Amino acid sequence: MKLNNLVKTNKKKIRPGRGIGSGKGKTGGRGIKGQKSRSGVAIKAFEGGQTPLYRRLPKRGFKSLALDNIAIINLSYLQKFHDNKRIDLNTSVDLKLLQEKKIINKKYIKLKILGDGELKNKPNITANFASKQAQEKIKKVGGTITILKKFVKKPVQSKTVKDGASLKILKK
């Protein structure tokens, strides 16, 4: 390597609008007049009058209004938290305990256990939902899983009117 054979890395920066001798003077490579020649103007999604992409593609999907209030946790995470001594699987593990230990956010009101991963300890878990795979793995290790009862709607009561016909009343 010699000083006279080095590749130059100090190229001059092109400074538009600095005189006609620079090659990028006067209009600075922007052309004459029009919206694009002005500063601070960007034409987003404008394709020169052609129907833009966001209008050519169909509308798809919707935003669900149902609350996302079910916390999901895998068996592998429960085992990992037990190994790190954040929770004890031998005692009862439920949503309240996981929220106190800051494993699950406070916004959740239900808990679902999924069966990804392996367990080494005998867990005692209380949850609202659990996958079949998770239930099988917990029973295989010798642990217990308690699934809380789902909300059951009350049976519809019927009321008889004077003429003998029955009228069903739904309670909300």
How does pLDDT run along the chain (172 residues), one tens digit per residue? Answer: 898 899 888 888 899 999 988 889 999 888 899 888 888 777 888 888 899 999 999 999 988 888 789 999 999 999 999 999 999 988 999 999 999 999 999 999 999 999 999 999 899 999 999 999 999 999 999 999 999 986 656 665 655 555 555 555 555 4
| pLDDT value for 135 | 95
Q: Report the distance separating Cα 23 and Cα 29, nearest Å.
A: 9
CA atoms within 13 A on the CB side of 165: 3
| pLDDT value for 154 | 60
CATH entry, 70-147, from 1.10.490.10, 3.100.10.10, 3.30.450.20, 3.60.21.10: 3.100.10.10
77 phi, psi to nearest 5 deg? -70, -40
* Long-range CB contacts (within 8 A, 24+) of 82-91: 82/121, 89/119, 89/121, 89/122, 89/123, 89/124, 89/143, 90/121, 90/122, 90/123, 90/124, 91/124
Domains of the chain, residue spans = 70-147
| pLDDT value for 172 | 47
CB neighbour class for 6 (10 Å; exposed up to 12, middle 13-18, buried from 19): exposed
| Helix or strand holding residue 113 (H, E) | strand 110-114
pTM (whole model) above 0.85: no
Q: Are 138 and 93 in contact (CB under 8 A)?
A: no
- Evaluate the CA torsion angle 83, 87, 92, 98 in order and state its sign: negative
| pLDDT value for 44 | 84
Taking only the tens place, the pLDDT of each residue in 16-66 is: 999 988 889 999 888 899 888 888 777 888 888 899 999 999 999 988 888
| pLDDT value for 162 | 58
